[in-house]
Structure 1
Amino acid sequence: MACFRQRKATTTQLMGNLPSSRLSPSFAFDRTGCDYAGPITLRIARGRNSKYTKGYFALFVCMATKALHLEVVSDLSTDAFFAALRRFIARRGKCSIIYSDNGTNFQGAARTLCEWVKLVRSEEHNHLVSSTLAAESIKWEFIPPHSPHFGGLWEAGVKSVKQHLQRVVGNNILTFEEMSTLLSQIEALLNSKPLCAISDLDLNPLTPSHFLIGRPYTAIPEPSYQDVPLNRLGRWQLIQNMLQGFWRRWNFEYLTSLQQRPKWKKKTKNFKVGDLVVIEELNLPPSRWALGRVEELHQGEDDLVRVVSVRTKNGLFKRPITKLAILP
C-alpha cells in the first residue's frame, strides 16, 4: 500500500469524442464557455501619482466556432460578473447554455485566486446566477469537480491571452480604458486565426470572424513599432506596440502547439462499481490520500468511463478518473 501510494499511478482513458455542443451547427455564442483570468494591475487614472487597483478579465468562448469575447472586470463580485455578462449578451446575443468550472479546480492555485474561489463556491452567488439566467431561458452547466481538462476550450483561450499578454505588457500599467481597448483588439486578432480552408481554390481560410461579422477582421493600417525604442513612443503608439508584440508571440509560440496531441491515445479498462480507489489530492502528500469505493459510473457517448462517483468517509464525490488510482 505504501509503495502504491507513492507511485501516484492515476488512471487515464482514451481521449473522448468532441461533445455535441462542439459539433452542432448554431449561431455564434449560442453555447458558450466562460472563465475568469487575472489579476491584472490597472491604473485608476492617468498621471504620475495615480493609484493602482486590481482587475480581471472574463473570457467567453463559442463552443462551436471557437470565437472569443473578452471583457475587463473591475473586481470579483456577483454584480461585476453580471455586468460583464450583460455586456457580452448585448454585443453577441443571448446564449442558450453557459458552461463553466465550479471553483474546485483552483484549490491548489495561488492565493490571488482565493477571492474567485470564494465567489464561485458561494451558494448565494450560484443561486442568484442560476435563477437570473433561468429567467432569461439560459441554462448554466458545470464541468465535473477537479477536472479542468473538461473545459480545455476556454482554458486554451485563457492561456493564449494571459501568457502572452503578461509578456507584451511587461511592467507597463494601463488604465481601465486602455486595457479594454487592448483586449478588444487582441480579441479581434484571435478571432482571425484560421480554422480550415474554405475551398481548394480559395487562399483565404475560414476564421471565427466569418461567423461574427461575415468576413475576416481587418485592422486600421498602423506602422510597425517593434524596432522603435519604447521611450520614443506615445501612449497610443505604446499600446499598438504591445498589440503587435502579442500577435507575433501568439503566431510563433501558440499556433504551432495546437498540432500536438501527445497523450491519451489508448483505451484502458473501464472502472467498475465497487472498485476500491485512492483519490489524489494536490494539497496533501500521497500517504494521506483518501480511500474510496466507486458507487456510480458516468459513461460517455463512446461507453468509456471518464468520471465516477466515489464514496469516502466524508461523503459522496464526483471525480474524473485522472484523479483516481485503482488499488491492485
Structure 2
Amino acid sequence: MMRIFGYVHKFVSKKKLPDLSSEDLRKGSHLLCRIIQRAHLYPEYRALRKGNCVESSSSIISLSPFIDDVGLIRVGGRLRHSTLSFDRVQDSPAFSVTGIDCCGPFYYKPDRRTRMPTKCYISIFICFATKAVWLELVKDFTTAGFLSALKRFVATRGIPRCIWSDNATNFVGARNELEDLRRLFMSEKHRDAVLNHCINNGFNWKFIPPRSPHFGGLWEAAVKMAEKHLYRSLGSSLFGFDELRTLVCQIQALMEFPEPDVTNLNFNRLWKRWSEEYLTLLQQRAKWRTPQPSIQVNDIVCIKDENLPPLKWPLARVIDVIA
C-alpha cells in the first residue's frame, strides 16, 4: 500500500524519475493518512483547518488534536506540553537525564569535642526516567565540596547526558537556612566552575526558568521525602560525620523501590508494550480540553514575593512567554 501511494504521490507531483525514493514513500504515506482522516474525521479536520476547536461531542477531543505542517491531524494531549517529556520517555540508562537539588542544613559532631556542631548538606540526584534517587552528603557547601559530590555521583552512576537544577533566583526569598545555597549559586565563580567541569566531562547543565520552582517538582518531592526521613531518624541526636553519612545511605535505600527479579524478563517486549500501550493512555485529557485565555505578552501581572504581603507585591509587564 505504501508503494502504491508512493507512485500516486509521484504522479500528483509530476515527478518523471522511474524509481521510488524514501521521500516518495514518506509523502505517499502522508497522502494515505490524509485521505483516511478526511474520510473518518472530516468535521474535526474542517474545524481544525479553520483554527477552531473540535466539537465537545467529538471522540478525539480528549486528545487535543491539531493539524501539523503536512496537513495531518496529530495528537496533542498532555505529553505535547509536558515538561521534559522527551527525556522521560526515551530508552536510556538510569540517570542519563538527572535533576539535582540540595536540602539542609544538618549538623554533625566534629572530631574535637570543644568545637561547635558543624553544618553539612545533602545533594539529591534524581533520574527523570526511573525516579531513582542518589544522595550525597556534602561536608561544606563550597564550590569544591559541591564538585566533589558531583564527581562521586558520576564515578558511581556514570556520566549523565544532561543535569537540570533550580535557577539561582529560586533561592531568593527562601527560608533562612538556605541562605548558604543561595549565596553559592548566585556566585559567578561557582557557576563558571560547574559549567567548565560539565563541558570537560561531556554533559550539559541546564537551569529551569527563574522564579518557577514548580518546574522542579520531581526533585522537590525527593527533597521533602529525604528531609522527612532524616528528621525522624535524627531527632535531637548529634551524629558524627561518618554516622550521618551511613544514615544518608540507609535513607537512600528506603527511598528506592526494591529491585525485582528480572532474570527472565524480556526487556525489549516490556519496553515496546510500555511505550505503545501505556504511554498513549497519558495523551488523553480528563479536563481542560478546550483552550482557555492565558498570559500574553504585554499583560500586567503581580509578582509573588514570599517576603512581602500580597498588597505590596510588585507589578510587572510580560515580555516573553515560555510554553
Q: TM-score range by the shorter chain?
A: 0.5 to 0.7
Matched-pair contact (CA < 8 Å) for 2:102–2:122 = yes
Q: Indicate which of 175, 180, 188 corresponds to 2:245.
A: 180
User: 1:138 aligned to 2:203?
Assistant: yes
Task: Give, in angstroms, the shift of residue 166 of structure 1.
Answer: 0.2
Q: In 2, distance between residues paired with 1:82 and 1:37?
A: 16
Residue 130 of structure 2 corresponds to residue 106 of structure 1:
no
The one-letter code sitting in structure 1 at the alignment partner of 2:164 is Y
State the AA in 2 paired with 1:118: R
Query: Counterpart in 2 of 1:324?
Result: none
1:85-164 equivalent positions in 2, closer than 5 A? 85-164=150-229
Residues 1:269 and 2:303 aligned together: no
CA distance in 2, matches of 1:288, 1:99: 32
Per-residue deviation, residues 44-72 of structure 1 (Å, max 9, x unmatched): 238x7664211111110111111111111
SS of the equivalent of 1:37 reads: strand
Give the corresponding residue for 1:24. Answer: 90
AA at the equivalent of 2:147: F
Displacement of 1:194 after TM fit?
A: 8.6
Counterpart Cα distance in 1 of 2:168 and 2:318: 23
Once the two structures are TM-superposed, the CA of residue 17 in structure 1 deviates from its matched residue by 2.6
Given the two structures, how large is their TM-score scaled by the length of structure 1? 0.62
CA deviation after TM superposition for structure 1 residue 34, in Å: 0.5
TM-superposition CA deviations, 1:178-215 (whole Å, max 9, x none): 111111122122222699x99xxx9x9x9xxxxxxxxx
- The answer as to 2:290 corresponding to 1:286 is no
Cα RMSD (Å): 2.8
How has the CA–CA distance of structure 1 residues 265 and 154 changed in structure 2, closer, same or farther, with 3 Å as cutoff? farther
**Contact 2:132–2:256, Cα closer than 8 Å, also in 1:** yes
Pairwise mapping of residues 166-315 of structure 1 onto structure 2 (< 5 A)? 166-192=231-257, 266=288, 268-299=292-323
Asked which structure has the greater CA Rg, the reply is: 2
SS at 1:99's partner residue? strand
Does the residue aligned with 1:26 lie in a helix, a strand or coil? Answer: coil
17-26 vs 86-95, which deviates more?
17-26
* Shift in Å, 1:139: 0.5
For structure 1, the residue ranges without an aligned partner over 5 or more in a row are 1-13, 207-263, 300-328
Distance 2:230 2:140 in 1: 19
Quote the sequence identity (%).
Answer: 41
What is the match of residue 58 of structure 1? 123
Tell me, yes or no, if structure 1 residue 40 matches structure 2 residue 64. no
Q: Mind listing any 5+ residue stretches in structure 2 that lack a counterpart?
A: 1-77, 268-285
Point out the more displaced range, 280-289 or 94-103: 280-289
Partner Cα separation in structure 2 for residue 76 and residue 265 of structure 1: 44
C-alpha separation in 2, matches of 1:79 and 1:162: 24
Name the aligned partner's letter for residue 103 of structure 2.
A
The secondary structure found in structure 2 opposite 1:284 is coil
2:99 partner SS: strand
Q: Please state which structure has a larger fraction of its residues in helix.
A: 2
For residues 315 and 199 of structure 2, the distance between their equivalents in structure 1, rounded to whole angstroms, comes to: 38
Shift of 1:170: 0.3
How many residues align? The count is 222
The residue identity in structure 2 corresponding to 1:144 is: P
Q: Which amino acid aligns with 1:66?
A: K
CA distance in 2, matches of 1:32, 1:172: 32
Deviation (angstroms), 1:28:
0.9
